[in-house]
Amino acid sequence: MSDKNQAYDPTQQDEVLDDMFEDYFLEYASYVILERAVPASEDGLKPVQRRLMHALKEMDDGRFNKVANVIGATMQFHPHGDASIGDAMVTIGQKELLLDIQGNWGDIRTGDSAAAPRYIEVRLSKFANEVLFNEDTTEWQMSYDGRKREPVTLPAKFPLLLEMGVEGIAVGLSTKLMPHNFIEICEASIKHLKGQKFTIYPDFLTGGILDVSAYNDGARGGKIKVRARISEVDKKTLKISEIPYGTTTGGLIDSIIKANDRGKIKIKKVEDNTARDVEIIIHLGTNTSPDITIDALYAFTSCEVSISPNAVVVRDDRPHFVSVSDILKDSTDQTLHLLKRELEIKKFELMEKLLYSSLEKIFIENRIYRDIEECETFEAVIDTIDQGLEPFKKDFYREIGREDILRLTEIRIKRISKFDAFKADELMKRLIDSLKEVNHHLDNLTDYAIDFFNNLIKKYGEGRERRTELLEFQEVKATVVAANNQKLYVDRKNGFIGYGIKKEEFVMDCSDIDDIIAFKRDGTYSISKVSDKNFVGKDIIHCSVWRKNDERRIYNAIYLDAKSGKTYAKRFNITSITRDKEYNVTKGAPKSKVLYFSDNENGEAEIVTVSLTASSTAKKKQFDYNFADLLIKGRSSMGNMVTKYPVRKIALKSAGKSTLGGVDIWYTPNLGRLNRDEHGEYIGNFEAEDKVLVLYKTGEYELTNFELTNHYDARSVMLITKLEEEGIVTAIYYDGDSRIYYIKRFQIETTTMDKKFAFLTEHNRTELLGISYDDLPRAELKVKKDRKSNIEKIEFKLEELVGVKGWKALGNKLPFMKISDVKMLEPEIIEKEEPEETPDDDDDNDNESDNGAENNADIENTEEGTPEAAAKEDVKPEAAKPEAPKAESPKPETPKSEPNKNKSKDKDPDSENQLGLF
């Protein structure tokens, strides 16, 4: 049957098309991965980068070349448009490692693009010539049109991929590798060669602050957070001096303006003063906290970015997911291999030079050239020379061939006549010495590679120190730092809350991302996201902003249980909850209701007056109830019974104080932040009126509150502690004006908050050497008394050196020519006789169980309110911790040499008298 008569089979045709598309897609995907988007592990370069570097090498004559010319030369090897070549060259040139650039190459900080290729110039850097090229160790292939050869990969003797970073998107695959620090890469390579463990982290040209706690060695699944460096100029101004990687100043400013427009932050204006250095000035709105605004900038703008690295490289013509450590190890091992090959090539070249020099010397000194004068044919000449060399052949490392003899015949008579045996011996000696050196390097290849990396640091490491500071961030809670851009209203009767019902009762300011808690008369409550208008249920008795994990906000409530007819009181907190789920303050019986309710931000416990109905049979119709007698329990606890009789009304008698005690505060030095999570240094237990004392290296002190949103410059803080009423600051410093060492002791006399006061002279050479806030401080000083004496260590009880004076006084001179180091020691502890113990009746448990019984004999106490019942609850009862009485430290005695120390708090003329210490 002919083909024309065959029936059409659509199924077979579809299968053919499917196979064609599958093959074409795989070929395309493979091409994009291998030839465009993903770098090779051998040299860390994409094909376009490798080809332009090769083109630059071919053009390299030490002078700058127009970028347009380089692009044209690269197109001989790269089968794509000039735009991709130009962009790749600008990306490499802006890092100023492989290329020396000239002209306007743009700015990675501002996002400004480079000038046109015809206006800017480029050449290979000395570093690129040293680590990236070697004709003898390069593997070659033909270019796409078969006219020229190009390198398969460049013989890179440095982990370029880690230093430069890379980002590329292929078909179904992407790679994102962060740039790392040049010096740290070299040091990590040295550690790997020594068999030691190493860790390297990203470093960005834009600087900033980096959290690498979840970096995962740069492998897939890791994550880093990068922040801008924001500092407080004054209480109304902030400055951004470094920006996160991947952002620009323009994009950063746009994100700040958008956050302000959305009401997340409150600012007046933003100024971009970026020139040589980044400088973005943010002017704050009225009554805006700089510390909270800094956190808000991190939470709502591009001042903090999160990046997910994904290290993918091409190895053996396949993409591989790797880690940063794998890349560095492979690259370092490759460097070791390339150095070995170079040494072996150099060894071969030296041995060949030595062989030829020896042949030349034998040929001339033994006058073999005279024996060839009688030869009639060229072959006879070759044979005659070969016979003349026969006695010496055993001394050469290889056989002497025809080509070696031909080289001897090319020696000119002039060279033979001027042959100097002494110079020939000197040349051979130098060759032998060089050969010994190469053999030594081959025998100690690891040490040679270590020296190679150390030399790279010496030659090219200057100016390449780490720019990005490594810190572990505290998570910024958006609900805490969001500006109050909305007002919360409530319609109590109809049960609506929100910021859109502006005709109803105003409750408080809030932000549009806050959670709102609402309590109703029937005892039910729920938490929901704030919105324009939200129905939560009729008869609302209380609503406010709710913060998750707020353990110090305590709710006090008295409610009627409709089932038993009894009235109960409870104190509870709500630290976590399911949003939009209804909970109950009461036991849940129908027709139960809340009789009294209060919301206490710091655990206050008030006293209320309970009035019973006139028809009740209770002996006392009115009595006081103190919430301080109740334990704080979980939200589901029943509480303690107040009375079994009907209650007519409950009224507030007097406000109470906090029953939670002070707050323990810690300071995290590397973050410059306070916390309550026991991280860092413990600085004290704080009551509401207490203050934080911050002493700076600049010779200034500052008083602040203990809000967790406070920011401190961690690099300049020398001491941070709780301000004590009788606390004494002891400072040892060098006065730059008089060039004399001083010691001074003073008390904090100012009360102004959030303002720095200078207690040292403002000379630029003035330096604070040591600081203490202990009552009886001690210090170890490394001193040099005069020019002839040696440095010695001396311990001092500092209170014996100077009395307490005003904070502006200079203090007393220290009789030393130089103090090289000050180490503050543990304070002196004076043991005191303990007072006799007196019996102390503890009626706390009785008070808790009686629960107001002395005011009303008919008040009963249920099992649920006892301490034993509290142990059965899911939530542990919280009670105020009694603070141990602080022993009063004895005041230091006044030194006899300073009788007038208490007469004036200003500069004391006697303070300049040198101490008679020795």
Residues annotated as catalytic are: 119
Other residues' Cβ atoms within 10 Å of the Cβ of residue 178: 26
Name the strand (E) or helix (H) holding 490: strand 486-491
- Cα–Cα distance for residue pair 303/251, rounded to 1 Å: 10
Q: What is the DSSP letter of 400?
A: -
For 236, 330, 561, the CA distances from 590, given in Å and listed in that order, are 55, 73, 9
CB 851 within 8 A of CB 861: yes
Q: Which two tokens stand for residue 837?
A: 């113990």
Name the strand (E) or helix (H) holding 357: helix 324-365
Name beta bridge partners: 525: 519, 583
Name beta bridge partners: 704: 692
- Closest C-alpha among 146, 168, 135, 172 to residue 48: 168
- Cα–Cα distance for residue pair 618/852, rounded to 1 Å: 14
- Cα–Cα distance for residue pair 498/516, rounded to 1 Å: 9
Other residues' Cβ atoms within 10 Å of the Cβ of residue 602: 14
Provide CB contacts within 8 A for 125, sequence distance 6+: 96, 97, 98, 99, 100
- Closest C-alpha among 489, 494, 530, 492 to residue 508: 489
The 3-state DSSP class for residue 581 equals coil
Provide CB contacts within 8 A for 339, sequence distance 6+: 157, 445, 448, 449, 452
The 3-state DSSP class for residue 7 equals coil
Helix H, strand E, coil C: the string for 828-897 is CCCCCCCCCCCCCCCCHHHHHHHCCCCCCCCCCCCHHHCHHHHHHCCCCCECCCCCCCCCCCCCCCCCCC
Provide CB contacts within 8 A for 144, sequence distance 6+: 77, 79
The 3-state DSSP class for residue 18 equals helix
* Amino acid letter for position 706: F
Other residues' Cβ atoms within 10 Å of the Cβ of residue 728: 21
CB 132 within 8 A of CB 98: yes
CB 246 within 8 A of CB 305: yes
The 3-state DSSP class for residue 91 equals helix
Name the strand (E) or helix (H) holding 683: strand 681-686
- Closest C-alpha among 156, 154, 180, 178 to residue 167: 178
CA atoms within 13 A on the CB side of 134: 18
- End-to-end distance of the chain based on CA atoms, in angstroms? 125
Q: In what order do the strands lie in the sheet with 622-626?
A: 622-626, 607-612, 647-654
CB 749 within 8 A of CB 806: yes
CB 612 within 8 A of CB 648: yes
Q: Can you give the length of the chain in residues? A: 918
